[in-house]
Structure 1
Amino acid sequence: MSPSRAVVVRSLAIVAAFLYLAATAMLMMAVEPLGLAYVWAARLLAVFGATFAAMTLMPHGRARSWLKLQLAKHLFRHRYDYRGEWLRFTHRLGDVRPGEELAVRIEQAVAGITASPAARLLVPGASGRLEPAGAGEWPDGASGGASSDFARMIGRAPRILDGAALRAPAASAAATAEERALSPAWLIADATIWAGIPLVHGERLVGLVLLGCPPADRRLDWEDYDVLAVAGRQAASHLAEAQGQDALSEARRFHEFNRRFAFIVHDVKNLASQLGLVARNAERHADNPDFRADMVATLKDSVARLDGLLQRLSPQAVRADAPHPAAPMAVLESIAERRRAQHPIRVAGRADVHALFDPARLEMALGHLVQNAIEASGPDEPVWLSVERRGLDVEVAVLDRGRGMAADFVRHGLFVPFESTKPGGFGIGAFEARALIAGMGGRLEVESREGEGTRFAIIMPIADASADRLSA
């Protein structure tokens, strides 16, 4: 049999308790033959005396740690219960508590192995210096950090730093000359620092944990080096994963901003094209009062749309509304009214049909499709907008008789960003339009033939059937 440490320690505690009770009972029996007048008082005094003696002799703090050290040294082959320590260590690393930082979990997990009363995590900063992580205050000098040269040294050849060796005279110290030369002055001078554990992930230093001296005064040995080195590797994996998640989150934010910026640049290009067409038409129709009124309305709408585009760049941009029942014809008529000075647009279909959509997103998607249709059509060739019911869906179509697109481009390039058949085109309009429509629960279909024209169809659920769809 090979009893565990817990069984041995608890067994010794039980034996000590029985010995204490036996000693107390013997003391009470020894009082009775004395023939005292108040035997019960003597017995009570004996019980209180034994209790006080137990409380006085019970090991606390440093004495308990020393006792555990002696038991581990003389009763077991190894000082550490590796299985128990590893279970506690990994559990503490993964025990995510509300509002608790990973730095605190790492500090407590590593300190728990050696029963150190304090620990401090230092991580590399932007300049390469080691800086304190979290909100801890030990040791005092750690707020000054450690130089980048010190960080590179322990990252290049990671080994457990021995605080006592750094403070010992150079002639008898186990620390190398490089360690003594590059270690910060506060680390060498602070007698409460017992060890430093480098956290190395792959070949990259991600942190350094400083441990306070254990209650039982002792020097680091080979077993401490092995256990703390393995614990440092495991803690480094958690820290590197957290740092990777932070970097990924930041990259996603930049990606979202770049994606939003690309859409806005495309929209600005469309506005520039619209204003260019208005300017060219003004040369022919400047004397027409109706055209001048439409041109002023177009300019006002362009300014409003530019303001909206600038607002979309803000991180606090207003989110789109949820799809709700509305009439698509109203959106089509609004677009045709604004584009009248730019290009002839015809609207047809049913005004009494209601679909489930967000008018702002539908207007934005149609704006891309109408602009593409205008650019593909001749100056006097109208673009057609229509609304029809298709079973349990509503179809909003954009039709032009322009140059059309090849079937291969429709299949493989139309909805790919930065792929375009137009000179100077960004290839983003159709991609953004499909994304906007999909966000409302709809879909975008396209039919095109070279030399004959293109027809885009936006398919959205009809408002009257939306409840039936949700219950189906």
Structure 2
Amino acid sequence: FQTISTFFVHDLKNAASTLKLTLQNLPVHFDDPVFRQDTLRSIRATTERINQIIERLGALGSKLELRPSPVDLNLVVEQAIENVNGMPGVEFAKELEPLPKLMADSEQLRSVVTNLLLNARDAVGEGGRIEVRTGTQNGYAALSVSDDGCGMTTSFLRDSLFRPFKTTKKKGLGIGMFQTKMIIEAHHGSIRVKSDVGKGTTFQVLLPLTPDE
């Protein structure tokens, strides 16, 4: 129960981070009607997500429970990007190929994509670049998130990256990548990472296009 409840705390922290970023940018671009419209849409989507998290927290059990339904992975990616977009000074690129729908929990997949995007944002800082791609690979839907940020050491990748409460961030909970891996594996998928210190990191997620029998 404690580990799963920590996931919800982490998701709420991400939602709060999204709202904070949006509000920080609002005074600078307030006179832009397009930005105001995007901001209202982002705030609305984030508050809806908070309500969904609270609802699921109320029905919390001792293990991660999925609510599978036909899911458009590209739509999940677009929603996650919209929620965390507005990163000041960060170049954002995406290349989303048409994909068949997955049988998956859309809310949990959104947590995965959000974790990867926020992780990339923290790695690059201002002036960095983040690339998001989707496609297919050997019967799997493939999602990759790449950044040109600080990168991670081989020892951190081996010993700490996917373990709970291990982080290089001063204010991090150390739960995001552990949660991400657990959600992906619950969907019978896998996650891979390549990283070079000073050059950047790429996470690749593979999810089966048809559910395991």
TM-score by length of 2: 0.87
In 2, distance between residues paired with 1:353 and 1:301? 24
Q: Over residues 27-70 of structure 1, what are the superposed CA-to-partner deviations in whole Å (9 max), with x where a residue is unaligned?
A: xxxxxxxxxxxxxxxxxxxxxxxxxxxxxxxxxxxxxxxxxxxx
2:78 to 333, 341, 347: 333
Alignment equivalent of 1:293, drawn from 32, 37, 46: 37
Q: Which residue of 2 aligns with 1:8?
A: none
Number of positions where the alignment pairs a residue of Structure 1 with one of Structure 2: 209
Secondary structure, in 3 states, of the residue corresponding to 1:310? Answer: helix
Tell me the secondary structure at the aligned position of residue 399 of structure 1: strand
Tell me which residue corresponds to 2:122: 375
Equivalent position SS for 2:183: helix
Richer in strand (by share): 2
| Contact 1:291/1:341, CA 8 A, preserved across alignment | no
Structure 2 residue 145 is the aligned partner of structure 1 residue 398: yes
Larger radius of gyration: 1
For residues 378-400 of structure 1, give each alpha carbon's deviation from its aligned partner in whole angstroms, at most 9, with x where no partner exists. Answer: 23434221112112222111111
Give SS of 2:180's match.
helix
Counterparts in 2 of 1:437 and 1:268: CA distance versus 1, 3 Å: same
What SS does the aligned partner of 2:188 have? coil
Q: Output the amino acid matched with 1:285.
A: H
- 5+ residue gaps in structure 1? 1-255
Deviation at 1:408, TM superposition (A): 0.7
Residue by residue over 1:107-163, the C-alpha shift from the partner in whole angstroms, topping out at 9 and shown as x without a partner, is: xxxxxxxxxxxxxxxxxxxxxxxxxxxxxxxxxxxxxxxxxxxxxxxxxxxxxxxxx
Equivalent position of 2:194 in the other structure: 447
- AA partner of residue 359 (structure 1): S
Q: Name which structure has the greater RCO, CA cutoff 8 Å, separation 6+.
A: 2
Distance 1:316-1:419 versus aligned 2 partners, 3 A rule: closer
Q: Deviations over 1:188-224 (max 9, x none)?
A: xxxxxxxxxxxxxxxxxxxxxxxxxxxxxxxxxxxxx
Q: CA deviation at 1:300?
A: 1.4
Q: Which among 107, 110, 123 is matched to residue 360 of structure 1?
A: 107
Change beyond 3 A, Cα 1:290–1:369 = same
Deviation at residue 410 of structure 1 after TM alignment? 0.8
Q: Secondary structure at the match of 1:313?
A: helix
CA-atom RMSD, angstroms? 2.3
Within the candidate set 52, 59, 67, 1:321 is matched to: 67
TM-score, length basis structure 1 = 0.41
Structure with higher helix content: 1
Gaps of 5+ in 2: none
CA distance in 2, matches of 1:334, 1:266: 18
Which residues in structure 2 correspond to 1:41-440 (within 5 Å)?
256=1, 258-315=2-59, 319-322=65-68, 326-342=71-87, 345-440=92-187
2: CA distance, partners of 1:378 / 1:315: 37
2-structure distance, mates of 1:432, 1:443: 13
- Between the aligned partners of 1:273 and 1:358, the Cα distance in structure 2 is 23
**Cα separation, 2, equivalents of 1:288 and 1:307:** 29
Q: Distance in 1 between matches of 2:7 and 2:105?
A: 19
List per-residue Cα deviations over 1:312-344 (Å, max 9, x = no partner).
32146795223x554321211222233333465
Which letter maps to 1:361? Q
Q: Could you tell me how far 1:427 is from its partner in structure 2?
A: 0.7
Report SS of the residue matched to 1:361: helix
- Within 1, Cα distance between the matches of 2:152 and 2:183? 22
- Confirm or deny: 8 A CA contact 2:81 2:117 kept in the other structure: no
Whether the 8 Å contact between 1:384 and 1:398 is mirrored in structure 2 is yes
